[in-house]
Amino acid sequence: MCEACLKVNAAHRYDPTRTTTLRRQFEAAAARRFRNLAAKIREEVDRQDGFGLKTNRGRFDQPRSDQKVAAFMDWLQQQQDAGILEVRRGERLDSAGSRSWASLYVRNAYQKGIAQAASRMRAQGAPVAPEWVEKAFTRPFHVDRVALAYTRAYSDLRGITDAMDQQISRTLAEGLSQGLGPREISRALTDRVHKIGITRARMMARTEVIRAHADASLNAYQEAGVSGVAIEAEFATAGDNAVCPQCEALARGGPYTLDKARGLIPVHPNCRCAWVPIVPRTRRGETSAAAQAAAQGRPMTAAQAMQAMPVARANSHNAFDGTPEPALRVIQKTPDLKGMVKGKPGAYMDHEGRMSMGKHTPGTVAYKRTFRHEFGHHIDRNLGDGRGFASFAAVDELAADNKALETARSGMFRNDRAGSTALRKTIAKNEAAAEQEFRRAILAADAGGYVTDAKRILDEMTPLGEDGVKALYGVNEIRPTDAIAFVAAWNRKDVYQLLHDLPSRFGRRVLHDSPLAGMQDVFEAGTAGKIRIAFGHGEGYYKTRLAYDRHIGAAKKIGARTFTGSQLAEAFANWFEAYGSETLADYQTFKHLWPSMSQRFEEIIGGGEDG
Q: Give tens-digit pLDDT for 530-566.
A: 888 888 888 899 999 999 999 999 999 999 999 999 9
Co-location of 577 and 492 in the same domain: yes
Residue 103 placed within a domain: yes
The DSSP element (H or E) to which 557 belongs, if any, is strand 555-558
Co-location of 533 and 576 in the same domain: yes
Co-location of 168 and 218 in the same domain: yes
Radius of gyration of the chain from Cα atoms? Answer: 26
- Is residue 282 pLDDT above 60, yes or no? no
Of the chain, the percentage scoring pLDDT greater than 90 comes to 45
Co-location of 383 and 420 in the same domain: no
pLDDT by residue (tens digit) across 437-452?
Answer: 999 999 888 888 888 9
Tell me the pLDDT of the chain averaged across its residues: 83
Q: Of the segments 249-263, 353-367, 382-396, which one has the largest average pLDDT value?
A: 353-367
- Lowest mean pLDDT across 321-325, 386-390, 513-517: 386-390
Question: What's the rounded mean pLDDT across residues 196-225?
Answer: 90
Co-location of 399 and 534 in the same domain: yes
pLDDT by residue (tens digit) across 163-207?
Answer: 999 999 999 999 999 988 889 999 999 999 999 999 999 999 999
- Is residue 47 pLDDT above 80, yes or no? yes
- Is residue 303 pLDDT above 80, yes or no? yes
- Is residue 289 pLDDT above 50, yes or no? no
Question: What's the rounded mean pLDDT across residues 17-43?
Answer: 89
Residue 98 placed within a domain: yes
Co-location of 511 and 530 in the same domain: yes
| 386 burial via Cβ count (<10 Å: 0-12, 13-18, 19+) | exposed
Question: What's the rounded mean pLDDT across residues 127-131?
Answer: 77
**pLDDT band, residue 276 (cuts 50/70/90):** confident
- Is residue 38 pLDDT above 80, yes or no? yes
- Is residue 37 pLDDT above 80, yes or no? yes
Confidence at residue 6, expressed as pLDDT on a 0 to 100 scale: 28
Q: How far apart are CA 137 and CA 173, in angstroms?
A: 48
Residue 289 placed within a domain: no
- Lowest mean pLDDT across 62-66, 203-207, 286-290, 432-436: 286-290
- Is residue 525 pLDDT above 90, yes or no? yes
Co-location of 429 and 339 in the same domain: no
Domain with 320, as residue range(s), is 302-387
- 578-599: b or e for each residue (b if 16 or more CB lie within 10 Å)? bbbbbbbbbbbbbbbbbbbbbb
Please count the structural domains in the chain: 3
Question: What's the rounded mean pLDDT across residues 328-344?
Answer: 89
**DSSP for residue 301:** P
Residue 3 placed within a domain: no
Inter-axis angle of helices 515-525 and 365-383, nearest 10:
40
Q: Where among 199, 226, 253 does a domain terminate? A: 226
- Is residue 2 pLDDT above 50, yes or no? no
Q: Where among 171, 197, 226 does a domain terminate? A: 226
Confidence at residue 260, expressed as pLDDT on a 0 to 100 scale: 82
Q: How far apart are CA 398 and CA 403, in angstroms?
A: 8
Residue 57 placed within a domain: yes
Co-location of 374 and 409 in the same domain: no
Co-location of 220 and 143 in the same domain: yes
Residue 560 placed within a domain: yes
Q: Where among 226, 246, 265 does a domain terminate? A: 226
- 225-257: b or e for each residue (b if 16 or more CB lie within 10 Å)? eeeebebbbbbbbbbbebbbebbeebbeebebe
Co-location of 406 and 439 in the same domain: yes
Closest CA to 176 of 186, 166, 163, 167: 186
- Answer with the residue of higher pLDDT: 486 or 266: 486
Residue 13 placed within a domain: no
The pTM score is 0.64
Confidence at residue 387, expressed as pLDDT on a 0 to 100 scale: 64
Residue 335, CB-side half-sphere exposure with 13 Å CA sphere:
14
**DSSP for residue 125:** T
Question: What's the rounded mean pLDDT across residues 100-126?
Answer: 85
CA 310 to chain centre: 34
- Answer with the residue of higher pLDDT: 175 or 248: 175
Co-location of 427 and 565 in the same domain: yes
- Is residue 297 pLDDT above 50, yes or no? no
pLDDT by residue (tens digit) across 438-497?
Answer: 999 998 888 888 889 999 999 888 888 898 999 999 999 999 999 999 999 999 999 999
Confidence at residue 435, expressed as pLDDT on a 0 to 100 scale: 93
Co-location of 435 and 353 in the same domain: no
**pLDDT band, residue 134 (cuts 50/70/90):** confident
**pLDDT band, residue 607 (cuts 50/70/90):** very low
Confidence at residue 279, expressed as pLDDT on a 0 to 100 scale: 63
Closest CA to 559 of 418, 394, 413, 396: 396
Residue 273 placed within a domain: no
Residue 565 in contact with residue 440, Cβ under 8 Å? Answer: no
Confidence at residue 386, expressed as pLDDT on a 0 to 100 scale: 60
